Amino acid sequence: MGMRFSILGSGSAGNCAFLQTESARVLVDAGFSVRKLCQMLSAIGESMDQIDAIFLTHEHGDHAAAIDGLAKYPKIQVFANASTAHTVQLSLPHRPAWQIFETGSRFRFRDLEVHSFSVPHDAQEPVGFRFIHGFEDDLFSPARSLTWITDLGHAPDHVREHVHQSNVVVVESNHCSELLKADTKRPWSVKQRIGGRHGHLSNQSTRELLHSAVSPRWQHIFLTHLSRDCNSLEAVQRTFANAAPWLRCPLSVVAPGGGTPFHELH
């Protein structure tokens, strides 16, 4: 086995993915209750008892809700930078097995090499991750990588570089600008925050990010974190309707609240 993953859930109600290698079973974000995560993992033949670590991008509940219930799973290591760990810990009655990293650092967890990098979002110190398994120039275990960026208002050059270097990219396509503008549930201040440079990517912004970072390495692109009220599968598909000539790899749009089957990096 090389590396495979499944997005368990995506959207404003919660975000989480399961990533597996020969030596590790980890979650990328954990934005559901532990009870719900147990159900999601059982549906793909896994369990919380088998999880070795959780990698947190930031402290918002739709990415970190499960940390509150980890007292029953003390062996699970939780990787976060100091600001995120501190903010999450303030509301916890117990202390998880925190593993603190510095934003921008690269480190190893078992047979995974993990690159952390800053992203512009309205959280304490939000990050994205690029997970690498295998080795360059190794015919039997070639390096394969997955980049996870689900909350960002715009894409600085270093984010584009991680996207360019990856085989699989999981990136948000949060809202349609026109649907956000027309939304009646959110006050103008919230709309400004969502559409701002530390909010979330619109469909068009995500298209522009991918177009500027296009890479022959890409095997698959997953568009995630769609807003239920301010986006739709149809709106995303319209934005990417003519992207195939330059994208040159499969593109999957994950519906709000939805997930994906297992995908193996080859």
End-to-end CA distance of the chain: 10
- State mean pLDDT over 46-53: 98
HSE toward the beta carbon, residue 93, CA cutoff 13 A: 3
CATH of domain 3-257: 3.60.15.10
pLDDT band at 51 (very low <50, low <70, confident <90, very high): very high
pLDDT in tens, 130-184: 999 998 766 667 899 999 999 999 999 999 999 999 999 999 999 999 999 999 9
pLDDT band at 7 (very low <50, low <70, confident <90, very high): very high
pTM, entire model: 0.97
Q: Which residue has the higher pLDDT, 26 or 136?
A: 26
- State mean pLDDT over 248-266: 96
For 41-134, list the strands marked E by DSSP.
Answer: 53-55, 77-81, 97-101, 106-109, 112-118, 127-133
- State mean pLDDT over 226-247: 96
pLDDT in tens, 168-180: 999 999 999 999 9
**pLDDT exceeds 80 at position 45:** yes
How far, in Å, CA of 50 to CA of 109, rounded? 15
Q: What confidence score (pLDDT) does residue 138 get? A: 67
pLDDT in tens, 75-130: 999 999 999 999 999 999 999 999 999 999 999 999 999 999 999 999 999 999 99
pLDDT in tens, 193-227: 999 999 999 999 999 999 999 999 999 999 999 99
Whether residue 159 contacts residue 150, with contact meaning beta carbons closer than 8 Å, is answered with: no
pLDDT band at 228 (very low <50, low <70, confident <90, very high): very high
Residues 6+ apart with CB under 8 A from 256: 10, 11, 12, 13, 226, 227, 228, 231
**pLDDT exceeds 70 at position 16:** yes
Buried b (16+ CB within 10 A) or exposed e, 5-20: bbbbbbbbebbbbbbb
Structure tokens, 245: 């000539």
Domain boundaries, the chain: 3-257
Q: What confidence score (pLDDT) does residue 139 get? A: 62
- State mean pLDDT over 12-41: 97
Q: Which long-range contacts (CB under 8 A, 24 or more apart) does 72-79 make?
A: 72/34, 73/34, 73/48, 73/49, 76/48, 76/51, 76/52, 77/52, 77/53, 77/109, 78/53, 78/54, 79/53, 79/54, 79/55, 79/109, 79/114
